[in-house]
Structure 1
Amino acid sequence: MKTPALRSFSLVTSLAVAAGVMFALPQTAAAQSGDFPSRPIKLMVATAPGGSADATARMIADGLSQAWGQPVVVENRTGANGMIAAQALVKAPADGYTIYMSLSSIVQNLLLQPTPGYRMEELTPVSMVAILPIALAAPVQLPASSLAELIALAKQKPGSISYGSYGVGSGAHIIGVALNKKAGVDMTHIPYKGETDSFSDMVNGRVSTAWGSVGFYANQLAGGKVKLLAVASPHRLKAFPNVPTLGEAGYAEANLAGFTGLFLPAGTPPAIVSKYSQAVAKVLAAPDVQAKVVSFGWEPMTNTPEAFKKQLDDEMQKWSTVIRENNIKLQ
């Protein structure tokens, strides 16, 4: 049986231990965020090595490695339009050591796929990386030198104009459908596996027009076989000041540019999310990085996690409206 003195000592000891635990928990969490990173980081990208997204991810990885003194290793998790990488992210520990640079398919998959394998609530937005303008190109022999002339041609000869995209449910396909509805025309959608295939068929007369990344078509213009009629972009591009946006041309509903951005798993400590956001902004502000990203036909852009979250909400609303109103399905 314990004496009163012993019981008093035990009570004091228990309270001291409890207080120590209470004070230690926030200090430990703060220490973990403050020490981050203390080991290598994995940066996933859902495209194959050698493309624009892969190259951008590697520049970000190099910049973070230099800033933080820890290796940032790029992992190409390709397949299923980015769903494999997104699924891997939401299953990763929320400790900042796994991050994903996604294309705008991260939004489109949620709207088109019956079981994408992730929810937006399972992701923590970190920062935008770039806007990806999408261009409408036509062969030089097409008797239309502007979007207005293309629409007029489509109305004069119903069913005679087609447009190529890089797949059913892709941004290019959805933009084309939105343009059809707003303009009151019926340009036929022809899906391809990629921009190269649609470009080849376009210059050989098998498809009237094609949507693709500005970077891809900027490289094709020098060959003198194509012309740009419009771009899906928030603003006119410095490299193509005479090419109007779809919004300027009167088709704001179809003015849906793509984007790429960084995500961490939900539940990642805010201090780590902020550390990433600030560091990525510094990396992308470097003149050589800016120049390289612009050479891909992209528009470098970073923002805060809060601003990126709001932008994602807006993107979900815009893409959802077009998909729902036009009953776009993958099959």
Structure 2
Amino acid sequence: MTLSFGPLGLGCAQLGNLYRALDDDEAAATVDAAWDAGIRYFDTAPHYGLGLSERRLGAALRGRPRDEYVLSTKVGRLLVPNSAPGPDPDIFVVPATHTRVWDFSAGGVRRSLADSLERLGLDRVDLALIHDPEEHAAEALDQAYPALAALRAEGVVRAIGVGSMRTEILTRFAAETDIDVVMVAARYTLLEQPALDALLPLCSRRGIGVLNAAVFNSGLLAEDRPHGGLPYEYQDAPAGLVKRASAMAEVCERHGTTLPAAALHFAGAHPAIRTVVAGAQGPDQVKRNAGLVFGPPPPAALWPDLVAHGLLRADAPVPA
């Protein structure tokens, strides 16, 4: 696989009105801010806002040189027109003009990619990821994966992989298939590192790239001072995790850095990780995230202090 992701990618769930609605101008400004900051990897999915993220991302990238960026989308959910739309029952502030239908069949994979290209208005995607297959493992392994492997062999996509919040299914794909990457969401962050046990070592041994996404744990680590009401796993964060994140933030402050800076730098420190993928609620957050990633890392003394306070695993690789 020859894809170059850079140290930071833009996760585009927010372009699909994750948590709150933003207008087309703010969505375009978010992508423009990412481009101006040097970000050249963009990740989207049909699931994000029932196709809204793909449409907005495609529109924002359409005037950019196509060979200068990497674009990924996902398969596993088809969008079927809804005859009686109401509000989206998921976490996106959009009308439910379509219904999400799970489909990991070979035909579903090809249809999903064709529909995505139509929404994006682009000639290709570089990377196709099987999205959240944990409840459909057999079909995803037996049908979706071979379909993507065939598309890779045909040159339709340059690389294939799987994305999930569950390390067990990612580990199974890494062990049993010839995927190029895994996208691990929220399972290798400053707050928690279950991917360190089996998934990341396996990916290192097999040469599978890791795209580390949702590194703010849905928002809990995204602010300098965590507080109640911030999301974790796309719901209000439990009080115990808010307390833990607040303790981390206090240690960060003592070392002259911030919790988001520590979260972003830690998320890219494991040698198996090819890039950190972070979403952003608007262009200002993109600029902040990029400034933190491309700026100086937190002081080296931060990491052993977090370990000493029981806030970080001692075996987790940290930034040099």
Query: TM-score, normalised on structure 2?
Result: 0.27
**Of Structure 1 and Structure 2, which has the larger fraction of its residues in helix?**
1
User: Relative contact order (C-alpha < 8 Å, sep 6+): which is higher?
Assistant: 1
Structure with the greater alpha carbon radius of gyration = 1
Query: TM-score, normalised on structure 1?
Result: 0.26
